[in-house]
Chains A and B, each alone.
Chain A
Amino acid sequence: MRRSLILGGVAVLVFPTAARAADGGAGSWIGPFAVIAAGIGMAIAAGLCGLGQGRAVASAVDAMARQPGAAARIQTAMIIGLALIESLAIYTLVIALILLFVKGIQFS
């Protein structure tokens, strides 16, 4: 099952004509690849962003448990840090939105 999926993926990557045929023969093979790229890119970005934010929150909660008096300042710093980490995933989201919704990318 898994092997056939991988083989299918490789086949689509190697032979774009298959994707073109699946697209209805419009001669546009960028569109399907744009969808694949948006999905895979967003998945990688979301996963790694989750890892990074998890590390940040873990050490922030650790610090808050050790120093309850400084909890407010640590929380502010944590939220700013989370925003900065999250913006990296947001960049990928914007790229994905451009790939999916901007008409110029789907060269027909």
Chain B
Amino acid sequence: MEALEHPPIFRLPGIPDHVTYTWLVMVILAAITFAASRNLQLVPRGLQNFLEVVLEQFMQMIDDVMGHEGRRYLPLLATLGLFILTSNLMSLVPGLAGPTGNLNTTAACAIVVFVAYHWIGVRKQGALTYLKHFAGPVPLALKPLMFVIEIISHLARPLSLTLRLFGNMVGGHILLAVIFLLMGLDGLIGWALSGSAVGAVVGGIGGAITIVFTVGFLYPLKILVAFLQAFIFVMLTMLYISGAIEEAEHHSEHH
């Protein structure tokens, strides 16, 4: 992929780009939250007001999906959501690299989710009860088969979380890189500037169409995808956590 995409402008020697820009995202988020919470007021203004609106949105989503008791998991969910959203949006800025465009970052997020929801489930219902749920409500003869299938489906969850975020981001990056390659000085605009009459007409019109297409369609689409993928990641995390804690009530009804 290095053949297509230009490396980011600022690089630390010896440190991979996604790690550098993960630190940048951490610095941005920490600075914003520090500046907003340094001088808390009862009637919020400015930055504090903005962050409160953001967190209210998260809380409303949690209330809708997990019920009121899901608010305990707001720190995990909001941190994941804000980190992924900031990373996705940062990958759209030319000259910066997005941490979520690398498989390691998304795998780290997905593994955190995987460990967290199993940990929450075990804490909520105890290890044995939690393990029993993998067998599901089927006859005794089918339980070993069901157990294996459930284990595989649970192992597929972090895989699909990882690959969904990574694939969406990298697919968009490759699309933009190919469009820029077609549009740039090696492509249509270069042809327009080359001096030939045909090139000036075809390359000029084609370059203008490509620029309008990129700015007017591809970038809004990628911003939408950035928000959507962060939303989906957080939403699936909520569903997994509520699946891990809800089964307690289900099971107690059966017995």
The reply to whether chain A is a binding partner of chain B is: yes
Q: Assess A76 versus B235: contact at CB under 8 Å? Given A93-B171, A97-B170, A101-B1.
A: yes
Residues from chain A with a CB closer than 8 A to the CB of B239 are 80
Q: What does DSSP make chain A's interface, helix, strand, loop or mixed?
A: helix
CB distance from B87 to the nearest CB of A (A): 17
Q: Could you say which of B118-126, B137-145, B161-169, B203-211 contacts chain A? A: B161-169
By the criterion CB–CB under 8 Å, are A83 and B171 in contact?
A: no
Q: Which residue of B lies closest to A72 (CB)?
A: B64
CB distance from A13 to the nearest CB of B (A): 27
The yes or no answer to A90 lying at the interface (CB within 8 A) is yes
The yes or no answer to B180 lying at the interface (CB within 8 A) is no
Q: Which residue of A lies closest to B1 (CB)?
A: A101
By the criterion CB–CB under 8 Å, are B64 and A87 in contact?
A: no
Q: Assess A80 versus B163: contact at CB under 8 Å? Given A90-B168, A101-B1.
A: no
Residues 36 to 72 of chain A near chain B (Cβ within 8 Å): none
Residues from chain A with a CB closer than 8 A to the CB of B232 are 79-80, 83
Cross-interface CB contact of A87 among B164, B174, B231, B235, cutoff 8 Å: B164
Residues from chain A with a CB closer than 8 A to the CB of B166 are 94
Residues from chain A with a CB closer than 8 A to the CB of B64 are 73, 76
Residue-wise interface mask of A (70-108) relative to B, using a CB-CB cutoff of 8 A (1 in contact, 0 not): 000100100110011011001101100100010000000
By the criterion CB–CB under 8 Å, are A90 and B236 in contact?
A: no
The yes or no answer to B131 lying at the interface (CB within 8 A) is no
By the criterion CB–CB under 8 Å, are B163 and A87 in contact?
A: yes
The yes or no answer to B148 lying at the interface (CB within 8 A) is no
State the CA gap A94–B163 with chains docked (Å): 7
Q: Assess A79 versus B167: contact at CB under 8 Å? Given A87-B160, A101-B1.
A: no
The yes or no answer to B228 lying at the interface (CB within 8 A) is yes
Cross-interface CB contact of B163 among A76, A79, A90, A101, cutoff 8 Å: A90
CB distance from B212 to the nearest CB of A (A): 24
Residue-wise interface mask of A (10-53) relative to B, using a CB-CB cutoff of 8 A (1 in contact, 0 not): 00000000000000000000000000000000000000000000
Q: What would be 7 A-B contacts, judged by CB atoms less than 8 Å apart?
A: A73-B64, A76-B64, A84-B160, A86-B168, A90-B171, A93-B170, A97-B1
